[in-house]
Structure 1
Amino acid sequence: MALALRGQRAVAILHFLCFLWAVFALTQNLGVPKPVRKEQDNTYGGPWKHLTFLNQVLQTILYSLCVLMDAVALCIPSQEKCVSCLLRPIRDFIFSAYVFPVGLFVAVAFWGLYAYDRELVYPRELDDINPSWLNHSMHTTILPLLFIELVICTHKYPHRLKGVLGLFFFAATYVSWIIWVYHTSGIWAYPVLEVLSPNGMVVFFFVSFSIMVTFYFAGEQLTKWLWAKRKKVT
């Protein structure tokens, strides 16, 4: 019992630290003064049209749920079952359908395009505007947060069709949003979209979604493999 409690406390501490970092990164991104923001951030939609920012919001929501569940389990154990039944399905769906595949895609796609031609995703002029640590907080440190959550907490994945449809709804909503932003302001959220033809854009979005679905399946299989192996050891 004492060992289980210590493990529960350790998980709660890790969740709280991840939550603090997610909130810090999010508020720092919002706190960059408008006069020094890149042109796209000063237009319609602000940072909300960037997938990196939306992913940070999703991670913050996820860890806020984790912290709340941990706090109830440690401080009000009599209410743990009730709160868990209410919040666990939401937490697990957000992680499985959104946070893991989208977060992994953000990191892989950003640094992949950056290595190929950084002007397509993060022009050199931004080096004089955004501090490098802020860039890494949105595109690099999201990876360890993903895998920390994968390792310390088991998540029940939804039915595969439900999970993929949830991811598709998110992706379709985001694509519709950035197209609307372009229609309204005349500026694409990412420079790479400026150099693509309409057909090229369709292919780009299709490939991007296919990669996200692949990452969804990867998260599902990693969860099954990791936690099945732990159950055997236990």
Structure 2
Amino acid sequence: MAKSKKQLREHFAAKEAAQATNDQLDTCNDAYTSGAFQYLRFVVHLLSAAQFSYGIYYHYYRVHWPSDLVDEEEGLKTRWGGKFKYLTFLDVILQAFYHTVALLNDIFGDNTVTLHSKSKLRLIRDYVFATFAFPVAHNVCISFWVIYAWDRELIFPTALDAIFPSWLNHVVHTNVALLAILDLFTCFRRYPGLAGIVGNLTFMLLYIIWLHIVRYFSGLWVYPLLEVLPFPFRYLMLAALVGFNLVCYFLGEYANKIVWAPELKLLQQQKIKQG
């Protein structure tokens, strides 16, 4: 009889603990999915989608290379993919796609703190952000500004200042990273683990292959820096590009764990209590 009472007490204690965890999650979701937080997330995605979409339009249709660069650059910039050969341009397309999906999820999907979301928009949003949007944005931003500070002629010649507006330069090289960080603080997500790592590496390896296709058919490397580097250092740089993109993935995962630590802990407790 004493054993039975003990088991009963343990059962009620476990039930109360599970209910307390659920109550805490409900409190989180009340704050997270309504009020100021909800509007902030919506505005971030709306303005980001609009900004990057306009940046793509302006970059593609309004930016034309100066005549004094035509001999060196014209074939590189018009054949075999045009501007689609640049990681910067591909990244701004990626950011526009991500924030559009995130905006649609804000309207039609689900933003609750939960173990398993039923919203396909939410699943796409979280995977694209973790695997591509966050790491590629930071790869582009950090790589560009580091090389720019070292020798800007290797990545953004002075002659481009006349036709490439400063605001567009920051949209494609700075805002991509800043808005990804802001999104990290406004959107709860669980990282995809191995699937995200594989996707991240696959994206960058495909881009490296694309660079070689362009080199084969145009006779020129996409980036002037690759032209001046000796053979071993060129491939060391390309390997570093892939590796740094993966580092940015793990940086995003680590930051996500810090920002959303209380919510992730509650979900882990809920998972354990549900068996």
In 2, Cα distance between the equivalents of 1:35 and 1:117? 20
Structure 2 gap segments, 5+ residues each:
1-28, 112-116, 266-275
Deviations 1:167-190 (A, max 9, x none): 111011001101101111112211
- Structure 1 residues 129 and 13: CA distance shift in structure 2, 3 A: closer
The residue aligned with 2:224 is: 191
- Structure 1 residues 100 and 35: CA distance shift in structure 2, 3 A: closer
SS at the partner of 1:141? helix
2:63 is aligned with 1:27: no
* CA RMSD of superposed structures (Å): 2.4
In 2, Cα distance between the equivalents of 1:225 and 1:154? 12
Whether the 8 Å CA contact 1:107–1:142 is kept in 2: the answer is yes
Moved more, 191-200 or 56-65: 191-200
Counterpart amino acid of 2:62?
V
Question: Equivalences for 1:73-152 in 2 at 5 Å?
Answer: 73=109, 84-152=118-186
Runs of 4+ aligned structure 1 residues displaced above 3 Å come to 1-4, 33-38, 229-232
- Structure 1 residues 227 and 129: CA distance shift in structure 2, 3 A: same
Question: Equivalences for 1:201-220 in 2 at 5 Å?
Answer: 201-220=234-253
Whether the 8 Å CA contact 2:52–2:95 is kept in 1: the answer is yes
The residue aligned with 2:191 is: 157
In 2, Cα distance between the equivalents of 1:120 and 1:35? 16
2:78 is aligned with 1:42: yes
TM-score, normalised by the number of residues in structure 1: 0.87
Larger Rg: 2
Whether the 8 Å CA contact 2:257–2:264 is kept in 1: the answer is no
The residue aligned with 2:98 is: 62
Whether the 8 Å CA contact 1:59–1:99 is kept in 2: the answer is yes
The residue aligned with 1:80 is: none
- Structure 1 residues 2 and 226: CA distance shift in structure 2, 3 A: closer
- Structure 1 residues 120 and 86: CA distance shift in structure 2, 3 A: same
Deviations 1:110-129 (A, max 9, x none): 00001111111111121122
- Structure 1 residues 119 and 63: CA distance shift in structure 2, 3 A: same
TM-score, normalised by the number of residues in structure 2: 0.75
SS at the partner of 2:122? helix
SS at the partner of 1:187? coil
Counterpart amino acid of 2:95?
Q
Question: Equivalences for 1:5-16 in 2 at 5 Å?
Answer: 5-6=34-35, 7-16=37-46
In 2, Cα distance between the equivalents of 1:230 and 1:86? 21
Give the percent of matched residue pairs that are identical in Structure 1 and Structure 2: 33
Structure 1 gap segments, 5+ residues each:
78-82
